[in-house]
Chains A and B, each alone.
Chain A
Amino acid sequence: MIALIIRDLRISVRAGGGFGLSLAFFFIIVIFFPFAIGPDLDLLSKVAPGTLWVGALLACLLSLERIFALDFEDGTLDLLATSSLPLESVVISKALVHWLTTGLPLVLLTPFFGILLGLQNSNIIFLIISLIFGTPALSIIGTFGAALTAGMKRGGLLLSILVLPLYIPTLIFGAEAARRGIQGFETQNSMLLLLGVSLLSWAILPFAAASVLRINLR
């Protein structure tokens, strides 16, 4: 499993690996948004948590298709399925690599992006915590969607349609937690629900994704 994680991380940072793609996309959203909204700093900081969350979600969506497509095309998935490594661990490794290459960099860059959107330093922490709790759910749900469409060439459209409704709870609780924190209300409930969504997804979806993959490999 560690071997798989290391290999996938290596592939993602090599040329054409798609490491920078989601990050660049996120960056573009954050840069362009203030231009479109105008110079009203008050308004900007009000919509900032929602913007960052939607940006993170879309950036995540952008890189989902690659999770299984490449391994499916070159036969690696067949070989992994016949190896002694259970497909469930393959799914977990893939989701983890996806989070390490998209979710984690987004979390780390949020302080800078928060400033671009006019957030106070003390408020950014809520955004960071909500993203730390929420982005793992985005990765594992996305991996499940990628497993569903693994056999398809250019399954990107179907993948987005399948995954978007599943992302809604994460988005609602995540953005809510960040917004409440910034406005000075207590955030405990939303944060716990957000964490719950993440943990539940990580507990259930690897098994679902693995059985879906088995069917897709036939």
Chain B
Amino acid sequence: MKNGQAGILRGPNGVGKTTLLRALAGLQPVEAGKIKCSLEDICYSGHADGVKPTLTVQENLEFWANIFSSPSISEVAEKFMIIDLLNSKVGNLSAGQKRRVGLARLGLTGRQVWLLDEPTVSLDETSVKIFGNIIKEHLSEDGCALIATHIDLGLENRAQIIDLLKYKAASGELSNSNEAFL
């Protein structure tokens, strides 16, 4: 995959999309193959948003901004259309709004490779479109993205569809597992 390119992971449930993304993000050990990319460039976003219901949107974003030492949150908040939600508690938001807060973290990391696991769950149509545009913008800034999704994000020719069904892992015992007791 080149910079400026996106990969869309397709495949039926349980084929290993999440596993692949988690392995690429360094959360799971890789059985075979090499990842030619520094972990410092990778930003992973999973099913869960990692936002705290008892904190406000602003506090949540500021926390992630501090972790990734990124300067300002207002620009990102504007991009993801949560600027007027900044002072409300995340616990009071709808699922789609919460998702947008979770995704806004991507903009704060400043990392090049985005690994997105079903990013559009519970987003409405307009939000999906806006999110598609954000990804396009990210791609045109020389970033790249690997997205597991079932819907069309409107990325057109930028996206390369990867059907995981062809590469489905052979089921059975893991061979050289030396950490059996763990």
Interface residues of A (CB under 8 A from B): 2-4, 6-7, 10-11, 14-17, 73-76, 78-85, 215, 217-218
Contact = CB atoms under 8 A, between A and B. Distances in A.
A80 B67 contact: yes
Contacts of B25: 78, 82
16 contacts: A3-B62, A3-B67, A4-B67, A6-B63, A7-B63, A11-B52, A11-B55, A75-B46, A75-B49, A78-B27, A78-B50, A79-B105, A80-B67, A83-B67, A84-B40, A84-B67
Contacts of A80: 67
Contacts of A73: 48
B50 A79 contact: yes
Given A4-B63, A73-B48, A79-B105, 12 more contacts: A3-B62, A3-B67, A16-B54, A75-B46, A75-B49, A78-B25, A79-B45, A80-B67, A82-B39, A82-B44, A84-B40, A218-B27
Contact of A7 (B27, B44, B55, B109): B55
A11 B49 CA distance: 17
Contacts of B62: 3
B54 A17 contact: yes
Contacts of A217: 27
Contact of A82 (B42, B48, B55): B42
Nearest to B62: A3
B68 A84 contact: yes
B32 interface: no
A38 B162 CA distance: 75
Interface in B33-60: 39-40, 42-52, 54-55, 59
A78 B27 CA distance: 7
Contacts of B50: 74-76, 78-79
B182 interface: yes
Nearest to B60: A7
Contact of A74 (B26, B44, B49): B49
Nearest to B29: A218
Contacts of A10: 55, 59
A41 B59 CA distance: 50
B63 A74 contact: no
| A-B interface, 6 closest residue pairs, ranked by CB to CB distance from nearest | A75-B48, A3-B66, A14-B54, A76-B50, A75-B50, A79-B50
Contacts, number: 72
Interface residues of B, number: 32
Contacts of A6: 63
B92 interface: no
Contacts of A79: 44-46, 50, 64, 105
A85 B182 CA distance: 25
B48 A78 contact: yes
B47 A14 contact: no
Nearest to A79: B50
Given A3-B66, A83-B67, A83-B68, A78 B46 contact: yes
Nearest to A2: B66
Nearest to B68: A83
Nearest to B89: A14
Contact of B51 (A3, A14, A74): A74
Contact of B27 (A2, A16, A81, A85): A81
B52 A7 contact: yes
